[in-house]
Amino acid sequence: MQFREFLKTQLESIDSEQVVLPAGYHVVGHVVLLHLDRSAMPYAKEIGEQILSFEGRAKSVAVRMGPTEGVKREPQYKLVAGSCNTTTTHIEAGVKFKLDPLLITFSGGNRAERIIIADRVSPKETVLDMFSCVGQFALHIAKRKRARVFAIEINKIAFKFLEQNIELNNVEQIVKPIRGDCRITHPKNSVNRVIMGYLHNTISYLPYAIEALKNEGGTIHMHQAIPKQEENETCKKISQVCEERGYTTNTHVRKIKNYAPGIEHLVFDIYLDNR
């Protein structure tokens, strides 16, 4: 049975003509993350309790109260049903992630992108993950390709989980965690590839990503959430920033998903060369 139909049968007192019931949810470990329409918010607890019986993996249910905030990417969720212990271990394509999804942003919708990037990496490469969080990109790369990775994270809570996840996945010898602001703590002239997995004004960090590349150039994967019509202008800005630093560029753009009404989550694959 589809989830929304299940809710309609279990919550007969709710007028489904007036209340928009959710069609689905995200599961991170044993925690269900739920986005509710405003009309359904008064029934969050009842919906959460029904999820506990519908979803076999669920022990906790939390509802999104607002957007992820700031460079530390702090989510806004409220626990509405189940266990208050929301620290969990999520397994993704063989990689283990310990985290608390009520405190740390973890997007299951980006799973395919994490694997795509890991598969592009050569074992001989050195990679910089500028916004590592709990290691979503860094650990896939290390586990799949055994490439060396610098993993930078500014959020104190996320960094603690990152350190634990490096040990949990037995990649201590090849992943170096760095706590701090990536504009300050990034290695210089050291890497072949940079991942910029942050969505808001990411292009302002591009000069620091370029500084991290080896002198001959390399590849930068820059994520950004923008209106579709700004794609070409963003490509022009990328070329300008790179050319000012002596690099020629070739940029390919890929869409990850719709981020918000009128806003797309895009990845700009930037290939830089100064030879």
Answer yes or no: do 208 and 265 share one domain: yes
Asked if residue 36 is part of any domain, the answer here is: yes
Give how far Cα 7 sits from Cα of 104, 217, 251, Å: 28, 54, 46
Inside any domain, residue 93: no
Which pLDDT value is given to residue 137?
97
Considering the domain architecture, whether residues 18 and 148 belong to the same structural domain is answered as no
Q: What is the pLDDT of residue 70?
A: 67
| Tens of pLDDT, residues 243-263 | 999 999 999 999 999 988 999
Predicted pLDDT at 260: 85
Containing structural domain, residue 185: 107-274
Element (H, E) at 226: strand 217-226
What pLDDT is stored for residue 72 in this prediction?
67
**Quick one: tokens of 112?**
């395919």
Token pair 């860094």 is at which residue?
138
- Please tell me the distance from the alpha carbon of residue 69 to that of residue 74, in angstroms, as a whole number: 5
Residues of the chain with pLDDT under 70: 1, 69-72, 275
> Could you give the C-alpha distances from 58 to 5, 31, 50, in angstroms and in order?
19, 6, 10
- Is residue 92, in this structure, part of any structural domain at all? no
Assess whether 65 and 127 both reside in one domain: no
The predicted pLDDT at position 108 comes to 78
Q: Report the candidate in 37, 94, 77, 82 with the shortest Cα–Cα distance to residue 57.
A: 82
Do residues 28 and 111 touch, judged by C-beta distance below 8 A?
A: no
**For residue 128, which of 236, 201, 69, 205 has the smallest C-alpha distance?**
205
CATH of the domain at 23: 3.30.300.110
Instruction: For residue 191, give the DSSP letter.
Output: B
pLDDT at 69: 67
Note whether 211 and 151 are same-domain residues: yes
One domain for residues 146 and 217 = yes
Nearest to 128 by CA among 118, 139, 140, 138: 138
Q: What is the CATH number of the domain that holds 222?
A: 3.40.50.150
Structure-token pair, residue 53 = 């019986």
The total of structural domains in the chain comes to: 2
Q: Which one of 27, 52, 86 terminates a domain?
A: 86
Nearest in space to 213 (alpha carbons), one of 106, 140, 130, 157: 130
Residue 61, beta-bridge partner list: 32, 81
pLDDT score recorded for residue 179: 98
Residues 76 and 112 in one domain: no
